[in-house]
């Protein structure tokens, strides 16, 4: 099918963009990489009045190391993040996740901020930034603000973004020498959306876990931080006993939402299995 009629504007500045998006009388939507938006328009799952193409906003693009933060501009293409040495050295969790995002052709065009703002429950990056304790920079009619990633994702494709606001960047704390990470997902076919996925970020002193964030995706409507399991592991030695308890705790931490390809039981099983195999690999 073809999309419904819409107007198209390609602003040159952020101010102009905000003005366009702030026009409350029109149902406007931001076009970044278009890898999810174009299909939804073509299938008429969405029919906005106005497409605001932000691809001309060069200031929103790029990866920068700023002190002990990495700042990834919202318009940075996945391929750039994937190939970035700054990311590889300072944020290996993101580097590990990148090849799992769809196929190379999609990564050439799709953007980091687009993935965050869309908040697909099976997407890799929202889970990673939750596990990393990243902050999302937002600009809108009410000024600039920052929000912790885990508070940003509200429900299925629902975020904390208010009318007229856009995501401009994500700030991620750089990794330390004590950081341990894991990223893994189970999908049916190569390149498919995951049936279950896991991103873990931890600070470890030898076998002792000082602080751990365990975030699942493709399990529920949003990325889910398994806080109960993390609580069991925090400030303790990682061993079969503590890991077993943490895995058991997932029964309470998670409330899987079945889909066409995986039942609730399979998703729960996969979540446990992902945590088990990834944290066991830390013990060996």
Partner 1 sequence: MNEIKRNQSIGVPKPLVDGPEKVSGKALYSGDFVPKNCLVGRIMRSPVAHAEIINIDIIEAQKLPGVKVIITGDETDEPFGILPIARFEFPLARDKVRYRGEPIACVVAVDVETAQAAIDVIKFEYKELPGYFKSKEAMAEGAVNLHEHRPGNIEREVDFELGEVDAGLADSDFILEETFNCAEICQVQSEPHAAIAEFDVERQFMTVRASTQVPYYDHLMLAKVLKMDESKIRMIKPFVGGGFGCRTESLNITLICALAARAARGTVRIVASREETFITHRGRPETDIDMKIGVKKNGIITAVDYTAIQRGGAYSGYGVVTILYSGGLLFGMYDLQAVRYKGLRVLTNTPPPGAMRGHGITDVRYAFESLLDKIASQLNIDPIEIRRKNYLKGPNYETLNEMFINSYGLPECIDWVEKESGWKKRKGKLGKFKGLGVGCGHYISGASKPVNWTGEPHATVHLKLDWDSSITILTGAPEIGQGSSTMATQCAAEVLGLDMSRFQILTSDSKLTPKDNGAYSSRITYMVGNATIDAAKNLRNILIEAAAKKLDADPDDVECLGEFYTAGSQDEGLTFEEVVKAALEGTGTITVSGNFDTLPESWGTKKYRGGAISGSMAYAYAAQVVEVSIDPDTAAITVEKVWAAQDVGKALNPLSVEGQIEGSVWMGMGQAISEGTEYHEGLAITNSMLDYRVPTIVESPPIEVGIIETIDPNGPFGAKEAGETSLIAFIPAFTNAVADALGVRPLDLPVTPDKLMELIENKKE
Q: Is 262 in the site for partner 1 (CB under 8 A)?
A: yes
Q: Is 260 in the site for partner 1 (CB under 8 A)?
A: yes
Q: Does 277 bind partner 1 (CB under 8 A)?
A: yes
- The yes or no reply on residue 15 touching partner 1 (CB under 8 A) is no
- Based on CB atoms, which residue is closest to partner 1, 157 or 261? 261
Contact between 190 and partner 1 by CB under 8 A: the answer reads yes
Per CB under 8 A, the list member of 192, 239, 251, 255 interacting with partner 1 is 192
Residue 261 CB, nearest approach to partner 1 (Å): 7
User: Considering beta carbons, is residue 245 or 276 the nearer one to partner 1?
Assistant: 276
Stretch touching partner 1 by CB under 8 A, among 7-15, 56-64, 204-212, 258-266 = 258-266
Question: Of 19-27, 105-113, 146-154, 182-190, which part binds partner 1 (CB under 8 A)?
Answer: 182-190
Residues 282, 257, 91: CA angle, nearest 5 degrees: 35
For the stretch 219-222, contacts whose Cβ atoms lie closer than 8 Å and that sit 24 or more positions apart, written own/partner, are 219/121, 219/254, 219/256, 219/257, 219/267, 219/271, 220/121, 220/254, 220/255, 220/256, 220/257, 221/121, 221/155, 221/156, 221/257, 222/119, 222/121, 222/126, 222/153, 222/154, 222/155, 222/156
CB neighbours (10 Å) of residue 220?
A: 16
Q: Is 240 in the site for partner 1 (CB under 8 A)?
A: no
How many C-beta atoms lie closer than 10 Å to residue 252's C-beta?
Answer: 10
Other CB atoms within 10 A of residue 172 CB = 24
Following CA atoms 150, 151, 154, 157 in sequence, which dihedral angle do they give, to the nearest 10 degrees?
Answer: -60
- The answer to whether residue 172 forms part of the interface with partner 1 (CB under 8 A) is no
Confirm or reject binding of residue 269 to partner 1 (CB under 8 A): yes
Please tell me the count of residues contacting partner 1 according to CB under 8 A: 20
94 touches partner 1 (CB under 8 A): no
Q: Among residues 4, 54, 2, 43, which one has the least CA distance to residue 27? A: 4
Q: Does 263 bind partner 1 (CB under 8 A)?
A: yes
Using CB under 8 A as the binding rule, whether residue 280 contacts partner 1 is answered as no
Binding site for partner 1 (CB under 8 A): 1-2, 186, 188-192, 195, 260-263, 265-266, 269-270, 273, 276-277
């Amino acid at each position: 099918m073809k999309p419904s009629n819409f107007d198209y504007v390609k602003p040159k500045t952020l101010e102009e963009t905000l003005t366009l998006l702030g026009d409350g009388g029109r149902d406007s939507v931001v076009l970044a990489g278009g890898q999810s938006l174009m299909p939804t328009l073509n299938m008429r799952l969405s029919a906005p009045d106005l497409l605001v193409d932000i691809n001309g906003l060069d200031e929103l693009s790029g990866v920068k190391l700023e002190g002990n933060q990495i700042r990834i501009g919202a318009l940075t293409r996945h391929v750039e993040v994937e190939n970035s040495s700054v990311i590889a050295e300072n944020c290996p969790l993101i580097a590990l996740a990148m090849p799992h995002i769809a196929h190379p052709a999609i990564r050439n065009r799709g953007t980091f901020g687009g993935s965050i703002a869309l908040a697909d429950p099976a997407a890799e990056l929202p889970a990673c930034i939750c596990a990393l304790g990243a902050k999302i920079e937002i600009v809108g009619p009410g000024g600039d603000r920052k929000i912790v990633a885990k508070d940003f994702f509200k429900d299925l494709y629902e975020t904390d973004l208010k009318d007229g606001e856009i995501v401009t960047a994500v700030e991620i704390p750089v990794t330390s020498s004590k950081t341990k990470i894991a990223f893994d997902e189970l999908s049916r076919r190569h390149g498919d959306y995951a049936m279950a996925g896991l991103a873990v970020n931890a600070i470890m002193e030898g076998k002792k876990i000082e602080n751990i964030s365990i975030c699942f995706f493709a399990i529920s409507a949003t990325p889910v931080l398994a806080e109960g399991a993390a609580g069991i592991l925090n400030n303790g030695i990682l061993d079969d006993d503590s890991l077993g308890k943490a895995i058991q705790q997932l029964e309470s931490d998670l409330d899987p939402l079945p889909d066409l390809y995986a039942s609730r039981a399979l998703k729960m099983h996969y979540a446990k299995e992902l945590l088990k195999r990834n944290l066991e690999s830390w013990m060996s």
